[in-house]
Structure 1
């Protein structure tokens, strides 16, 4: 093994567990509450709709993952098919989102722990922020997660295997306990809304309610593909299995949450539900039901689940920037590996950026929409690249080949466009600016293959314009779908005549 090669140690079990541990993080502690408050009993349908959207993208990336089996592939795939500008946009948007995710997970840990250790937070005027000791503890936790990643992918796999077993069991135990202790099944018929309002509530639950944010962990299999044995087979299977397991757990947890709310707390409707005491919604619910041991178990898991997810995403962010460094989209130092075949420079930069984000004082609630928009922007490249690579590599064997790819990819691109818009105007504008401004500067400095990536600016600019016009929900969805179907053939036809020569496929 040379100093430019990653170590392939992960099998199907470890990679599937990595997907699960990336998917079941702080989302399970917060998303059932926010989804219920947005959509009421229709939150169950919102999880199914969010799962359908995630599966539609996962199947696209299953073929891409069988073809491009490198770690940090979210940066490499658009570079292969559409050149340097498109590769920078895809890699940059994924990296920005990944950089923030470990910080958000650690903040979730601090928020739950503050109910038992109030000295971890202080009054920031407009809400609770980390105190000096809380900031020190959060920084130490990020540093420990970086140390585990630096020890090598073998160590990372052992930690993920152990922690994910816990993460699978605890939500199920708590869900069954809540349903047995307080099975108010009549809540499922409470406060039914007209179809239009129900659909709007489901859209809000999917975006700012955290559903889609919670379900996009399947891409971790792509990020670790370069360290996986038999990646052409293992990556697609791990994505499908991991997402199916995670969605099943979230549906059970959401059902348990809905039927465990005391009916008197729903007098004002689901939209006015408040469960803020005792450090978090699930803890507040358990304490209200007299389930002290469940509350203590939740507080313990509030440390373990988000920490394991943060650990996985810290490694994923390093591998995306490592690939960008190898491909010349970031400084070459990002592409260096240490003796354990870990991208150490990229990992340490991820740690430093995470600490800086801690100092800025974000919260889970305020950034989930922005992160979701940024992540889906990165994933929206998948359907375009798949069709492009079908044209560029027509005879290359694929371990998995998506059936009806033209129809499926067009539909997935429409769904991704809707998901980006659902995150809200402010989150969409913020994500577009943080992606397109650096991309514009990159394009000015590196004009190679610029025209192959210009469709990105057209696409995101159109979404911002459409969502800025006051339209009804159905009219806006129709306008966005039409825009996506106009842009999609433009994007696919903007592909390179031949694959980007700087990038090797493994």
Structure 2
């Protein structure tokens, strides 16, 4: 697997921003408002802060161990196959669905000017025509990625400009289109559904999903010219930028709502044109000329996110191939530095998702939980490699690294827990199916898989079992035996215990494929 270092710091900043500003800005404000009411403004700030902690773990890993498909490779390097495969499997399954969920967003926002995409009724789903249109969208994303990094960069830069200019314009018109709908009284009852709803909104309303798109800087780190400086800078700046944008947009959305739109409660928030909420609200405000531009943006924005995530997910597929989890041929790069076979393979999976799920909202909750669970790779891999001196930090800095890792692991665990028991039990089924696949791979490819490190990775089973128990007993769709507030304390201690257990059990050597030249002293 050969790669070219042809990406600049700005290129991966643009890729990360483009990965985070997708369908979330078009559909997230409505979903967040329905769950948390005006307090949804805080959900974006909380979400951005939480994900920034997790992202910083990945920044430290990627700057010291730049590798293609880092979120897959880091765990295999640090913890071996038994723990590594399960997380890789869940992560890949989730990221492969992102082009699909962005295609859903394109189709949903296009329904007002392209007829017959969706069925009519209380729970619309794609028609046969809609599915075919969605397939064309997914394939077009793949074709641009196959064309190579130069075409990808140019396309992404154009899309990024639109992703900045049009949301800023939207914020302006939502705040300053003065009429009877602009009411500061919308903020009077700030937490109508309680604080529990604020945290539920993080995974279920697309808040965390919007921020999880930071991963292009990680997956593409081996193709960056100066990863030591470029990766941390691109990650943190892109997260700061998107957090500010989403927070201000949510405040503008709440401010512009008609006061009768939530007369039956915020959970039943509705208004004319609610299927495309931003466009519908601007139409109520009389900004019809800008709505036409916004309909074009509603196609471009999610398409751009699907494009970027499609590129990064193909690198994850290459990493899984290198690990021996899927056929070796999928890790091949062509002369343009593009993993064509991986892109084609992922595109087929994305098309299958189109036939499996019915809408954006039906997929986002499970997707967020799976993606967040996959991000435990960052803190756990960083903590172990630091403890073993595989990544070298000054002695007095190590305690801060371990503190960072335990906080990040707790954050990931809480986000998955907040998704609710209905989602967590589905993840449990994915985990079981993943280990069945691992067993088959071991039978077919014993030489490549080698030692599974079952004992060293056994803590992962304790983690998943504990997570399921907490979710079942908790207040987020569970039995409500563990009260809200106390559950955070329990899960924090549980996460610390898992972190320490993983350090104790996972005493393995660094993969030989990671050269000593990649290990840098900070």
Provide the TM-score with structure 1 as the length reference. Answer: 0.94
Residue 459 of structure 1 corresponds to which residue in structure 2? Answer: 463
Q: Distance in 2 between matches of 1:276 and 1:459?
A: 45
Which residue of 2 is the match for residue 146 of structure 1? 142
Q: Is the 8 A contact 1:318 1:343 kept in 2?
A: yes
Matched, 1:496 2:507: yes
Deviation for aligned residue 1:502: 4.7
- Equivalent-residue separation in structure 2 for 1:25 and 1:220 (angstroms): 14
Q: Give CA-to-partner distance per residue, 1:356-403, whole Å, 9 cap, x none.
A: 1112243111111101110111101211111111122356479xx888
TM-score where L is the length of structure 2: 0.91
Match status 1:84 vs 2:81: yes
Check 1:281–1:403 CA distance in 2 against 1; reply closer, same or farther (3 A cut). farther
C-alpha contact (below 8 Å) 1:29/1:282 kept by paired residues: yes
Secondary structure of 2:112 counterpart:
coil
1:189: how far off?
3.0
Quote how far apart the aligned CAs of 1:193 are: 4.2
Instruction: Call closer, same or farther: CA 1:126–1:269 in 2, change over 3 Å.
Output: closer
Match of 2:379 in 1: 383
CA–CA separation in structure 1 for the residues paired with 2:374 and 2:261 = 40
Give the drift of 1:167: 0.3
- Which residue is equivalent to 1:11? 8
CA distance in 1, matches of 2:331, 2:190: 54
- Hey, what's the Cα distance between the residues in 2 that align with 1:397 and 1:159? 39
Change (3 A) 1:172 1:131: same
Alignment of 1:452-491 (within 5 A): 452-469=456-473, 470=480, 471-491=482-502
What is the CA–CA distance in structure 1 between the aligned matches of 2:319 and 2:32, rounded to whole Å? 36
Partner of 2:126: 130
* Superposition map of 1:34-183 within 5 A: 34-123=31-120, 127-182=123-178
2:339 aligned residue:
343
Distance 1:395 1:217, change over 3 A: closer
Aligned-pair Cα RMSD in Å = 2.0
After the TM superposition, which of the residue ranges 29-38 and 129-138 deviates more from structure 2? 129-138
SS state of the match for residue 7, structure 1?
coil
| Match runs of 1:176-195 below 5 Å | 176-182=172-178, 184-193=182-191
Q: Is the 8 A contact 2:183 2:259 kept in 1?
A: no
Q: Does 1:268 align with 2:264?
A: yes
Label 1:395 to 1:92 Cα distance change in 2 as closer, same or farther (>3 A): closer
- Work out whether residues 213 and 372 of structure 1, in 8 Å CA contact, stay in contact via their aligned partners in 2: yes
User: Does the 8 Å contact 1:172/1:252 carry over to 2?
Assistant: no
Aligned pairs, number? 498
1:360-439 pair list within 5 angstroms: 360-394=356-390, 396=392, 404-439=400-435
CA contact 2:357–2:363 (8 Å) conserved in 1: no
Gaps of 5+ in 2: 443-448, 474-479
- Measure, in 2, the Cα distance between the counterparts of 1:75 and 1:220: 13
1:283 pairs with 2:287:
no
Quickly say closer, same or farther: Cα 1:20–1:289, change in 2 above 3 A: same
